[in-house]
Amino acid sequence: MKHTNKLFAILLAVVMTIVLALPVSFAADEPSTSRENDLRVMVMSDMHTLPESMIKGTADYQHAIDLDQKVFNESEAILDTQLQQVRASKPDVLLLNGDITKDGEYAAHKALAAKLKQLKKDLPDLKVYVTNGNHDINNPAAKDFNTADGKAVKAKRTTQKDFRNLYKDVTWNDSSVKATYTPPEGAQAGALSYVARPKKGFTVIVIDSNCYTSDNTSDGEQLCEVRGNIPADLLKWAQRQARAARKRGDTVIGMMHHGVVSHFTQEATILGHFLVDDFRNVSTKLADAGMHYVFTGHQHSQDVAVMRTEKGNTLYDIETGSSITYPCPMRAVWFLREGSAKTDNGWKETVKGSSIKNLSIAHTDPQTGQYVSIGDMTAYAKDRGLSPAVISAVLKDKLYWSLPNYPAELDTVIDKLIPDLCNIPVTEDGKHSLMDIVNYANQSHQGGTDNGQDPAWVKEAKKNVAENKFVAALTDTLCKDLAVLTGQGVNKLTKTELVKGPAIDLLYHSLFGAAHVSYYTVPQIAKDLDEFLVKTLNSMTNDKNYPNDNAFSITGANSVQEGQANWSSLDHGISDSNLVQKLIFALLGNG
């Protein structure tokens, strides 16, 4: 039996080697001759790599992964597999879109940099452009789980200076990097921004949108934050670089970690920290300066969103999902230019994109020590969606760190409340629950399948939500399960910083008022929740902005003259509110 298993493992490894050697097609109709006017780009985002050498099957590590949907055990194997895809495809440019390590562990960055250096040796003509994400620099959560006594210890953090030094031979020292951003005297924010020209006719502007220095964090601490911010001076610098590139006739491509266009209509409401501060103004200024494509990450979704300015310029925000959450994708994008920047008519741009998913991996699981093979990472990660256990663990953890004196009674309440809520039926036959519809909506958006083509049970669930057939049960469950809290427990919860914003704040306090005093306010709570859930479900499952998220084709006419750009396939319908709902943000994760 052991001999058979060994033979199977060898056979599997051979098959995988052959499969990974097959090149990825950038487009079915790409030219087979001259490539002077095109640029082939591959994108990897939010890899959250934790080297297997830092993982051990301990209680501390198990607790850490219980709080997350990310498949950290497989992160290094996925990274290696995706880099093999790059080797086979031989693109001109590889973009790494931030959150490239789990929590900014210096050892993780060092290991990744070594892999990227080897990649550049294997592909001497490849340009690798790296940017950091909110997890990568000055992160106090950096830990090493592989210790002798099984207790996780703090790992060395990566600083801004460390980051640039570690990746200097990968990115900053490359001859294609033409300029770097220098912050004003006394400031540090945005210093990892740079401009590259990988090929004649193409400029890449990389913007460090992260908050991790004292001059750009909310509390003035030298610690990372989830939110993104582009300081005024950095934005002006990016505009100047874009205008200069456009003036010389280049196609301008941006990259940053945070989004600049809302990817679903409720994003600013429930996941506002996944967009840069003042994102409408930022996107407008970049588009009007000549940047019409920007690669982003952070929100772990395979999604394309587009906006148009009053001057008629467009900006496509091409977000790439996380390598280690569903659907574990990467992108291949082909830029083609036709015409000349020297003529009054300018040039035509065609951008074709495809998603690379369903990859196979085989490795020794660092937590169990067992050899495992996973034939389809997309399917594997889909099975690891949100669950009552994950939500309960995250909620307890967030409340524990948010409350000065965490009431012990909350554990009991949460252990009953979350399963009760998640198991509320949303269809008449009772076969589908609130948890089912939440996972469907979340994974539809993550996977780029939010095209409104819902199965029958989802249509029924949406109808029931719209008709308030189950929201009353949801609010009743909230009130009854929270009614056991003592006055002290209620007071502590109503003071927590997890939830802010006028509408949600009113709903939140009404809920606890109802739980502690009476059920008098339940009808109004039900109405508020109903409207909120309907908007959220529809915005995450029916993308009316730009529905072609996995395979897309964009055609545009560009010119060196400002205000003379025009793009087709544009269906812009984004409309956001200004409310930030921190509780849902906490439950869905911090990118």
SS3 of 543-590: CCCCCCCCCEEEEEEECCCCCCCEECCCCCCCCCCCCCCHHHHHHHCC
Q: Which of 211, 176, 206, 210 is nearest to 194 (CA)?
A: 206
pLDDT at 236: 99
Question: Sign (positive/negative) of CA torsion 471, 535, 399, 49?
Answer: positive
pLDDT at 83: 99
Amino acid at 559: S
Q: pLDDT 10s digit of each residue in the chain, 591 long? A: 444 344 334 333 433 333 334 445 554 445 444 577 999 999 999 999 999 999 999 999 999 999 888 999 999 999 999 999 999 999 999 999 999 999 999 999 999 999 999 999 999 999 999 999 999 999 999 999 999 999 999 999 999 999 999 999 999 999 999 999 999 999 999 999 999 999 999 999 999 999 999 999 999 999 999 999 999 999 999 999 999 999 999 999 999 999 999 999 889 888 889 999 999 999 999 999 999 999 999 999 999 999 999 999 999 999 999 999 999 999 999 999 987 666 556 788 999 999 999 999 999 999 999 999 999 999 999 999 899 999 898 888 888 877 777 788 888 889 999 999 999 999 999 999 999 999 999 999 999 999 999 999 999 999 998 887 777 787 778 778 877 765 555 555 555 544 444 444 444 444 444 444 433 445 666 677 778 888 889 999 999 999 999 999 998 877 666 555 554 443 332 222 222 233 333 334 456
pLDDT at 22: 45
The DSSP output letter for 542 is: B
Q: Which of 584, 50, 82 is nearest to 330 (CA)?
A: 82
Q: For tokens 């082939």, what's the residue? A: 40
**In whole angstroms, what is the distance from residue 194 CA to residue 287 CA?**
18
- pTM score, whole prediction: 0.87
pLDDT at 522: 54
Amino acid at 203: T
Q: For tokens 């990389």, what's the residue? A: 206
Q: What's the fold here for domain 2-380+543-588?
A: Purple Acid Phosphatase; chain A, domain 2 (3.60.21)
**In whole angstroms, what is the distance from residue 568 CA to residue 121 CA?**
39
pLDDT at 405: 79
Residue 97: C-alpha distances to residues 65, 134, 521 (Å): 23, 11, 46
CB within 8 A of 569, min separation 6: which ones?
A: 546, 548, 552, 553, 554, 555
Q: Which of 39, 50, 31 is nearest to 324 (CA)?
A: 50
pLDDT at 504: 44
Helix (H) or strand (E) holding 537: helix 522-541
Give the residue extent of every domain in the chain.
Answer: 2-380+543-588, 386-422+452-541
